[in-house]
Amino acid sequence: MRLTVECQSSNLKDTIRFAGWLLELGEGKLGGDNDGNAIIEIPDDLLIRDSSYALSDLIDFVYPRLLEKCNDISYFQERAILAHLNEVVEEINDRFLSMFPGEKV
């Protein structure tokens, strides 16, 4: 995980807390004992609420200044949006591609 890359010192505590939560999630330590299915509470500060543009808000958060940085390979190597279904991945990709000028290829 490279969560602390370019992290402001004022955000470091929150970033470390998020990294710990993310590791617990990945290691299956959240949601109690389960058979592959579990209900996991996502902290309120990680949720996008009350937005008609939640997906656009997420993309803007993960990829700030996207059009300025789109030719910088390391910019994309340091960021990702994870999704649980291919349909969601397609929706994210479609929205992402619509942000770029020009014809889709």
Model pLDDT for residues 48-101, shown as the tens digit of each residue: 777 778 888 888 888 889 889 888 888 888 888 888 899 999 999 998 888 888
Question: 3-state DSSP call for residue 61?
Answer: helix
**The pLDDT value given to residue 90:** 93
Q: How does DSSP assign 29-48, residue by residue?
A: -SSSS-SS----PPPGGG--
Structure-block tokens of residue 39:
């209900």
Instruction: Please give the Cα distance from 27 to 43 (Å, whole number).
Output: 17
**The pLDDT value given to residue 46:** 76
Model pLDDT for residues 4-38, shown as the tens digit of each residue: 555 566 677 877 888 888 888 888 888 777 676 77
